[in-house]
């Protein structure tokens, strides 16, 4: 891990995988009709890859037809407690790689036993594995909102309507 003066630290690959294993919701970035799209996915880590379950549609077609995809998972660690405790830290992990549909019978049978629980109901018969070519992450202290306040922060302004 390397640190910068603002407190941002690069996460080791092991630390990135630990955060990926602890998560369950990510954002999948793909290209659809020559422009980027982002879809939420429920996922699990399996054998050094991410697996998600989905239905037929734009998300799966784009993921499988694009040479590379990206997935981001992020969160905030709870602050330490007590006098002199450290502030909360936010983190972000990005995984880049290629997506492939899981179709081999043995692998598909193993995959159906994974704890994949999509939020949305319906038929989710497609299993997709993302094999990473790059995994990066960073962690940084969360700045208190007061730091962003200025002398004009509380000045009344015109309605947005």
Give residue-wise pLDDT tens across range 8-59: 999 999 999 999 999 999 999 999 999 999 999 999 999 899 999 999 989 9
| Inside any domain, residue 83 | yes
| Inside any domain, residue 69 | yes
Total domains present in the chain? 1
* Least confident stretch, 76-85, 105-114, 134-143: 76-85
What's the full length of the chain, in residues? 161
| Inside any domain, residue 159 | no
Which one-letter DSSP state was computed for residue 150?
A: -
| Inside any domain, residue 25 | yes
- What was the pLDDT predicted at 35? 93
Query: Above pLDDT 90, what percent of the chain?
Result: 52
| Inside any domain, residue 1 | no
Give the domain range for residue 14. Answer: 9-148
Average pLDDT over the chain reads 86
Whole-structure pTM value = 0.81
pLDDT surpasses 90 at 92? yes
| Inside any domain, residue 154 | no
Instruction: State the CATH number of the domain containing residue 70.
Output: 2.30.110.10
| Inside any domain, residue 14 | yes
| Alpha-carbon distance values, 100 to 28, 72, 134 (Å) | 14, 18, 16
């Amino acid at each position: 891990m390397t640190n910068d003066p603002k407190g941002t630290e690069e996460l080791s690959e092991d630390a990135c995988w630990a955060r990926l294993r602890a998560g369950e919701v990510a954002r999948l970035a793909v290209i659809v009709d020559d422009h980027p799209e982002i879809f939420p996915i429920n996922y699990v880590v399996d054998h050094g890859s991410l697996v998600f379950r989905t239905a037929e549609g734009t998300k799966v077609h784009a993921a499988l037809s694009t040479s590379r995809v990206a997935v981001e998972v992020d969160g905030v660690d709870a602050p330490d407690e007590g006098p002199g405790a450290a502030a909360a830290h936010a983190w972000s992990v990005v995984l880049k790689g290629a997506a492939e549909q899981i179709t081999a019978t043995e692998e598909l049978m193993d995959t159906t036993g994974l704890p994949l629980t999509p939020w949305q109901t319906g038929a989710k018969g497609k299993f997709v594995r993302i094999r990473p070519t790059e995994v990066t992450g960073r962690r940084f202290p969360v700045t208190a909102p007061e730091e962003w306040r200025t002398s004009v922060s509380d000045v009344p302004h015109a309605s947005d309507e």
